[in-house]
Amino acid sequence: MSGPRRAERFEPAEVEPRWTAAWEEAGVGHADPSSDRPPYTIAIPPPNVTGALHIGHALNNTIQDVLIRAHRMAGFETFWICGTDHAGIATQAVVEKALAAEGIRREDLGREEFVRRVWEWKEEYGGRIIDQLKRLGCTLDYARERFTMDDAYVAAVLEVFVALHAKGYISRDRYIVNWDPGLGSAISDLEVEDREVTDTLVRIAYPLADGSGEVVVATVRPETMLGDTAVAVNPGDERYRHLIGRTAILPLVGRELPILGDEHVDPEFGTGALKITPAHDPNDFEIARRHDLPAVGVIGEDGRMTPEAGKRYAALTPAEAADRVMADLREQGLVRGEEPYTHTVPFSHRSGARVEPLVSLQWFCDMSRLAAPAIAAVEEGRVRFHPAKWGDVYLAWMREIRPWCISRQLWWGHQLPVWYRGEETYVGREAPDGDGWERDPDVLDTWFSSALWPFATLGWPERTPELERFYPTQVLSTARDIIFLWVARMVMMGIEFTREEPFADVAIHAVVQAPDGRRMSKSLGTGIDPMDEIERHGADALRFGLLMMSSTQDVRFSRERIDQGRQLVTKLWNAVRLVVERGGRAGAGPVEPASLADRWIASRVADAVERGAGHLDRFELAQLADLVYHVVFDEYCDWYLELLKAGEASPEMAGAALEQLLALAHPLMPFVTEEGWSRLPGATGLMAVHTAPRTPGPRDEAAEAEMAAVQEAVTALRGYRSRRGLPPRAPLLMDPAPHLAVVALDWVEAAPEGEREGLVPTLLGDGRSIGVGPAREAVDPEVERARLADELAAAESELARAEAKLGNAAFVERAPAHLVDAEREKVERYGAERDSLAARLAALQ
RNA sequence: GGGCGCUUAGCUCAGUUGGGAGAGCACCAGCUCGACAAGCUGGGGGUCACUGGUUCGAGCCCAGUAGCGCCCACCA
C-alpha cells in the first residue's frame, strides 16, 4: 500500500542560507585587483550602522545585486563595495535613547565616554544589516567592509576639509541657519521640510518717534518683535513712501527703528509694512545685510528667549513669550487685529521640531565652484541618470546651489580639524605646535563624509591597488530622495579630488509606498519588514516581487508581486526536476534541435537572452523580471515541457535551454537557480560564476510561426473541449512534423460534420485530418444551439468590422499594404465561417 | 508661485517606433494527469480620468480641464 507520491518541495529557509555560505566560502563577491578582466564596480549606498533592512534597502540592494551578478557572469571583475555609515544624528539619537532607558543623559557621561559608548553600540549591533544583506543574497565584497569612521576614512575626510579650506571654499561665518531646537544643532537646508500650520497673524502698531502717528506691521511670531531693528516698506507704496527715513519706536522695548524702503516687501500682504528681525528670519537677515542693520538675537540656541529679549521675557519659551508679548501689547492698546493664517513652516527632518531660524557662528562650504564641473558632467553625458529626467532635476538644483552649512553641534561624527587659541584659528589634521590650542567641538554633517564614499572606501588619498583598479565606479543606484543630499555631492567631491566622475550611470528606482499609498515608515506603523517576507516565501520571491514593483514611478507595496515571485521559484524548481527526470543535462554545449519544439524553444530562449541584455543595459529591471517570468512560465513550462512529456522534444535541448534560462534568471533569483543548477547532471561549478557564453543563438522565424499555429490550434481545441463540457482527460496529441500539428482527440467525433474546419482552420488548411475516436459524451442540442449562435454573432461582428475598414477609402489608400491585405483576408475567412455556422445552426433547428 | 509625475479590469500595476488592451491577485467553471494543488485547463470582467486636436488609424503624439502625489521656492 503506497501513499500518494510526494513532490520534493523547494524550501527556501533550508536552501537559501546554504548557498549564501557557499558563495561566501568560494569568494564569489571578493574582488581581485590583479585580475585582467574588465572591472565593474558599484559602491553600496552605505546604510546607517544602527539600521535594519527596510523595503527600500531590499529593493535597492536587489537591483545592485542583479547588476553585479549579471556582469560577473558576463566576465567582468566585479566589486560591490560594502560598508556602513556612522549617520551622526540618527546613531547618536539611538544611543541616547538607549541610555535614557537607564536614566543616563549624554551630558552625564561627557563627550569622550559617550562616544566610547557609541562605538560599543556599533560593535555590538552594527553588523545586523550586513547579515540581512547576506540573507537577501547580495554578493558584496564583505571582506572589504568599510565604515565612515574607520581611521583611513577619517583621514580622507579631514584631508578634504583641510584642502577645501585652503582653497577658500570652506570658511566660518556668522549667518542665519536652520536651528533645530530638538537636536540642539544647526541643520542644512536639505534637512528641513515644510509643513502647513495655522497660526494667528497679528497686527501691531509701532508708534512713530515724532508722535505723528503709527505704522502697523503684521506677524505670526509676535515674540520676535523683541529683536526688531527696523521696519521696511516697499518704496513704491504710496501709503508709506512718506515714512521712509523716519523712525518708529519698538513697543515694549523702546528701541528706535529706522523705517526704510526695500523691494522685497509685498505691499499686498498684511499691512504692507514689514517688521525686520534680522536674527530670526532669513529674508529679514538679507534685508538687514543690504541696509547694514544690526541683529538682535532674542531666541537662543537652547530654544529659549535670551537676556537680549529683556528681563521680562528672558528664559521663557518662544510660545510663552508670544503670549506675554501679546498680553502686554493689548494692555498698551497696540494690537490692531488678529486673524487665523495658514502657511508653511519649516520643521526638522531629523527631530521633528519646528526649525528656529537664528544667527549662529558656523562653518560653511561654498558650493558654486564645486558645482560647475559637476553640472558639465551631466550636461555632457559623462554622468547619465536613468530615467533621464532625473538629470534635469539634478541640474536645476545644482544651478541654484547655495552654501552648505557643514558644522553640527553633535558629539558623534567627524570632529572638525580646526583649532582655536584666543583669537587664533588653525585648520589642519593635527593640532599646531604650542600650548593652549583647543579643538572645535563641532562635527561635520554626515553627508560631508558620505560625499567621499566612492573613493574614500578605496583608500584614497593613498594610491591603493583597489583605487587604481576599481575607480571610478560604474553605477550608483538609489531612490530619488537623496539626489541632492548625496548623489550631487559625490559628483562634486569626486571631480574635485580625483579629477574623475565617481560613476557613469545613476539608476534611480521607485520609492515603495505602503499598500495604502502612505509613506512607509516605522513611526506611522506602515512599515513592512523585508525579513518577514523572506521568512514567508524566501529571498528569491522577495527579490523578484520587488523588481516587478520597481517600475520608474512610485509604487505601492504589493504582496501579490512577491507571491508571483514565489510561483516562479516553484515553477523553475519543478522544471528542473522534470528535466532531470527526463534525462536532461547541462554543459552539453550546442544542441542540434530534434523537432519543431526544439527549434522553437531555442529561438525563444535566444530572443529572451537578447531582450534581457537590452533591459539590463537600460536599467529596466521590472521589464527584465517580467520577461524572465514569461519565458520561463509561458514558453518553457507551459508549452515546451508539455511537448517534452509528449515526446515531441529532446531531453538534450530541454537541458540546454534550461541552462540558459537558469543563467538568465540567476541574477534575479540566485538561490533557486543555484540549487537547480546543482541538481542538473553535467553542471559544474557555481551558477553564480557561470560564465559560459550566453550569446543568443539565431532566431528561427519559421519555427516560431509554425509553433504559433500549433498553439493557436491547441488553444482552440481546449476551448472547444471546455465549452462542450467534454472530459479534460481526452487526449490531445500533436505531431509537429513536418509542418503542422495533427491533432487527435477522441471526442472530436462528437462534433457535427463540417465543424472541424471552423474549429481548427490552421490545422486543416492543407488537408491534414483530425484523428477521431469514439464519442464519449452526448451533446445537449440546446447548449450546442446557443454556442453556435454565439459563434455566428462573433463571426458576423468580425466580418462587419473588416468590411467597414475596407469601406474607408482613406484606409485602403494610406495604410500599409500588409494591413489592408489582412483585412481582405478576414472578409473572406469570416464570410466563409459565417456561412458554415449559419448552415449548421439551421440543421440543428 | 514654479517644475515633475500619475489617472488602464474589483485591487496593485505593465503596455517598446501609433496598426484589434495585458499580468499577478480576486471571481466563475472544470480538473489530484508520474515536474508543479505553493498546481493545471477554460472563462467572465475595461467609456485606457475628461474635452478637443493631429492621423486612414490614438491607451500611446499635441493642447486644455479635473483629481491625486512628489520636488523646488520658502511674502511677514
A576 to A14, A174, A183, A289, A569: CA distances (angstroms): 18, 69, 57, 74, 11
Contact A90, A50 (CB under 8 A): yes
Distance A554 CA to B64 C1' (A): 26
Torsion angle (degrees, nearest 10) of CA A711, A716, A721, A724: 170
Protein residue nearest nucleotide B56, by CA to C1': A811
| Cα angle: A134, vertex A138, A143; to 5 degrees | 70
Q: Which residue is nearest to nucleotide B15 (CA to C1')?
A: A623
Task: Report the DSSP beta bridge partners of residue A198.
Answer: A342
Å separating the CA of residue A1 from the C1' of nucleotide B61: 69
Name the β-bridge partners of A420: A425, A438
Dihedral in degrees, nearest 10, Cα atoms A548, A550, A551, A555: 100
Helix (H) or strand (E) holding A655: helix A651-665
Nearest 10 degrees: CA dihedral of A347, A350, A351, A352?
A: 30
Local structure of A256: helix, strand or coil: strand
Q: Judge contact between A168 and A370, C-beta under 8 A.
A: no
d(CA A641, CA A265): 76
Tell me the β-bridge partners of A365: A170, A404
Segment A729-773, tens digit of pLDDT: 554 444 332 223 333 333 333 344 444 443 333 333 333 333 322
Which residue has the least CA–C1' distance to nucleotide B70?
A554
* Dihedral sign from CA coordinates of A412, A415, A421, A424: negative
pLDDT of residue A780: 58
Minimum CA–C1' distance nucleotide for A481: B71
| Residue nearest B23 (alpha carbon to C1') | A626
* Alpha-carbon torsion (A360, A361, A363, A369), positive or negative: positive
Separation of alpha carbons A85 and A553, rounded Å: 27
3-class DSSP state of A731: coil
- Bridge-based pairing of strands A192-207 and A512-513 is unpaired
Q: Which residue is nearest to nucleotide B35 (CA to C1')?
A: A578
Q: How far, in whole angstroms, is CA A703 from its chain's centroid? A: 40
Distance in angstroms: CA A452, C1' B17: 42
Judge whether A334 and A205 are in contact, CB under 8 Å: yes
Give dist(CA A387, CA A67) in Å, integer. Answer: 16
Closest residue (CA to C1') to nucleotide B40 in the complex = A638
What is the Cα–Cα distance from A623 to A632, expressed in whole angstroms? 14
CA of A234 to C1' of B75 (A): 12
Distance between CA atoms of A562 and A549, rounded to whole angstroms?
A: 9
A387 upstream amide cis, omega within 30 of 0: yes
| pLDDT at residue A153, rounded to an integer | 97
Nearest of A427, A356, A367, A351 to residue A96 by alpha carbon: A351
CA A392 to C1' B66, in angstroms, rounded, equals 27
Q: Look up residue A546 and give its amino acid.
A: L
Largest CA distance in chain A: 117
Give, in Å, how far the C1' of B66 lies from the CA of A517: 21
Distance A329 CA to B75 C1' (A): 24
Distance A806 CA to B45 C1' (A): 31
**Cβ of A553: how many Cβ atoms within 10 Å?**
8
Nucleotide with C1' nearest the A813 CA: B56
Do A178 and A190 contact (CB within 8 A), yes or no? Answer: no
CA distance A370 to A480: 21
Nucleotide nearest to A565 (CA to C1'): B24
**Spatial separation of the C-alpha atoms in residues A488 and A501, rounded to whole Å:** 11
Q: State the pLDDT at residue A825.
A: 87
Name the phi and psi angles at A619, rounded to 5: 60, 35
Residue type at position A71: H
User: Exposure pattern of A557-570 as b/e (b: 16+ CB <10 Å)?
Assistant: beeebbebbbebbb
Cα A722 to Cα A729: distance, rounded to the nearest angstrom:
11
Q: Map residue A452 onto helix, strand or coil.
A: coil
Nucleotides of B under 7 A from a protein CB: 3-6, 11-15, 19-20, 23-25, 29-43, 55-57, 69-76
- Omega cis (within 30) before A651: no
CA–CA distance, A434 with A431 (Å, rounded to integer): 9
Cα separation of A399 and A396, whole Å?
A: 5
As a whole number of angstroms, the distance between CA A64 and CA A373 comes to 27
Residues of chain A where predicted confidence (pLDDT) is lower than 70: 1-7, 523, 552, 692-695, 720-721, 724-784, 787, 845
Distances (CA, A) of A681 to A640, A655, A665: 20, 9, 19
The nucleotide whose C1' lies nearest the CA of A639 is: B40
- Say which nucleotide is closest to residue A190, CA to C1' distance: B72
Residue among A354, A300, A345, A352 at smallest CA distance from A90? A352
Which residues fall within 8 angstroms of residue A544, CB to CB, at 6 or more apart? A561, A562, A564, A565, A568, A569, A625, A629, A668, A669
A77/A476 Cα distance (integer angstroms): 17
CB A161 within 8 A of CB A444: yes
Give the pLDDT score at A115.
95
**What was the pLDDT predicted at A714?**
75
What pLDDT sits at residue A562?
93
A507 φ, ψ to 5°? -95, 115
Q: What are the grid coordinates assigned to A157, written together?
A: 575626510
Please report, rounded to whole angstroms, the spatial distance between the CA atom of protein residue A66 and the C1' atom of nucleotide B7.
Answer: 31
Compute the radius of gyration of chain A from its Cα atoms: 37
Q: How far is the CA of A529 from the C1' of B11 (A)?
A: 22
